[in-house]
Structures are given as structure tokens and as C-alpha cells.
Amino acid sequence: MPKAPASNHPACTEAARFAAVPPGAPPDPSVCPVRDVLDRIGQKWPLLILIALEPAPLRFSNVQRAVGDISKRMLTQTLRDLERDGMLTRRVYPTKPPSVEYALTALGRSALDPIAALAAWADLHHDTIRAARQQFDAA
Amino acid sequence: MPKAPASNHPACTEAARFAAVPPGAPPDPSVCPVRDVLDRIGQKWPLLILIALEPAPLRFSNVQRAVGDISKRMLTQTLRDLERDGMLTRRVYPTKPPSVEYALTALGRSALDPIAALAAWADLHHDTIRAARQQFDAA
DNA sequence: AGTTATAGTCTCGGATGTAGACCGCAGTTG
DNA sequence: CAACTGCGGTCTACATCCGAGACTATAACT
């Protein structure tokens, strides 16, 4: 088997787009939207950062404190990625210890609707999951 | 600063639980529900597997084909994790080439509501995000 | 003078993930 | 008969990722 093109995934409602691409056309590496976007926000750090910024914009250190256990390295990188995707803005204030404020954009804020639903689900089913784990581990 | 306990995260509605723990009590490593659950389903493979199983139960190889570019190793491990969390069931049929069927549980199915919302959001805003990326990369 | 706070960058080592070989077994194909 | 395929994994080797911690410069505070 020649290995799937890594894109014809059932959740991708635009899968037909790929079937319609004439052979020989540019490969269009931005696979199906679900994959492309989930590769970003379907991870814990971006999710947690967006959640942390929901009540109010925060500066770098405050984001780190809010998330808790993210390394500076990951924080920097994830903030850059989110900025690149238009989910948040980065504004530098030329104060003496320079301060940088990260704020959600409208797009980032709109992402919080499904994310909040996910968080609510997590909160609601946490006990069930913990029970399932205990039962599984017992066997 | 002695580093945050990695749990008092604004989205955690049960943060008070930790403040209420008497000092010296067992550390209870299962931090806030949001963190605990997001560490699992806030990753791309579990998400994509749950989405793949939504229309119908699938066997191992079919899950791999549906997801597209997951390695067997990761697939095995992620399926085990999801089984442990009670999100899906694993049933072995003693056919000659043995077949193993993975099916969502009620819990797993319930997780698909917020996940589908996330996928719908991804689909809807994909073009906006791609545009933001192009603009960012131009600078 | 030394400490603190700011927002990062850099490097190192360990954890994590991927690719691919391999297994035993049965049906299919040459 | 003999080779190959598909099944559900496991195992090994390699690559990549990620966290911990050191380091930067500047200015205020002790």
C-alpha cells in the first residue's frame, strides 16, 4: 500500500476538494481544514493559553504564571504560532523593563466557544474518566 | 518564586479543591479536571481517532487508514489510552486473521459533541487562519 | 553593590514519536 | 508447491520535540 495522502480523513467536509485536484497540480500541503487547524489548537498548550487570555490580556510572565507549568521556550513558541494564526496580538510597550501584552483577537475569542465546551465537558466527565481508569488499571 | 503547583489554572472551576487540601495531605496528582482531561484529548491523535470512529466502529487497520498518517505504535498506544479512559471499547474476534473492533462508548460519543464543535470551527475559520499566516509570513 | 523584574534566546539531555522490520497464521495467487 | 497479502500488533533505531536552567541588558529598589 502506497501510504495514504494524509488528508482524506472522514471529518474533513471538504475532502472532495482533494479528489477534484487534477493530478500533477501543486500538492497543496495544507491538508484538510480539520487536520490543519487541529494540528495547532488540538494541543494542550495553545488551548490553555487561549483559556488563560480569555478574561483579560496578559503579559508574557503572567501568561506563564496563569498556565502554570509551561516552559519559557514552549510559551514563546506557542504564542508565536497563535499570533501567526491570527488568534492573538502581541503589543510591545517600550517601558524600561519592556513589557509585552498578549490579547485575543476576535478570531481567538471565537475559538473559545468550542474550547469552553470542551472544558465544560472535561469538568463534567472528569469523575467518570477517573473511575474508568481505576477500573482499567485494576485489570 | 517557588514555581506554581501546576494546577491553579483559571479555567479550573474546582481550583478551590486544592486550596482546601490540608498541608501534608496526599498530593493528589490528578490536578484540575480541565488539565487532566486536556492532557489526553487535547492532542491531535486522540481527537482524530474519536472523529474517525464516529460514523461506525472500525478495526485496527481501518482506524489507521482513516486517520491516514499515524504510526502503528502511536495508534496502539492512543487506542489503549482511550480505552483506559472509557472512551472506547476493544473487542477481539477470534477469526483466523484476528480482527479487533474499536467502538465508541457513550462517554466517547459524548466527547464528540465538543469535538465536533471544534471541527466545525476549524472548517469555518480555516481560510481566515490561512490568510493570517500568509500575512504574518510576509513580514 | 546586590537583588528583582522584564521578555526572551540558547543549549543540553531526556522524553516522545516515526518509520520500518518482524511475528504467526490463513487465504489467495502464480 | 511457493510466494505474497492482510491481520494486529511488538520491537528497534533514529529523529524530533520539549522542559530545565543558564544567560542577556536595563533600570528601579534595598
Average pLDDT per 10 consecutive residues for chain B, totaling 139 residues: 40 40 42 80 90 95 92 96 96 89 97 91 92 93
The CA-based angle B114-B116-B117, given to 5 degrees, is 60
pLDDT for the residue B95: 85
Residues in chain A closer than 8 A to B84 (CB atoms): 132-133, 136-137
Mark yes or no for CB contact B33/A122 under 8 Å: yes
Number of Cβ within a 10 Å radius of residue B81: 19
Q: Which cell numbers hold the place of B67?
A: 486517520
A35 touches strand C (CB under 7 A): no
Interface of A with B in 15-54 (CB under 8 A): 30, 33-39, 41-44, 47-48, 51-52, 54
Q: Please tell me the distance in Å from B95's CA to the nearest CA on chain A.
A: 23
Q: What is the model's pTM?
A: 0.83
pLDDT for the residue A101: 97
What does the mean pLDDT of chain A come to?
A: 81
pLDDT for the residue A40: 84
What's the CA–C1' distance between A109 and C20, in Å?
43
| pLDDT digits 0-9 by tens, A32-74 | 777 888 888 888 899 999 999 999 999 999 999 999 889 999 9
pLDDT: which is higher, A25 or A80: A80
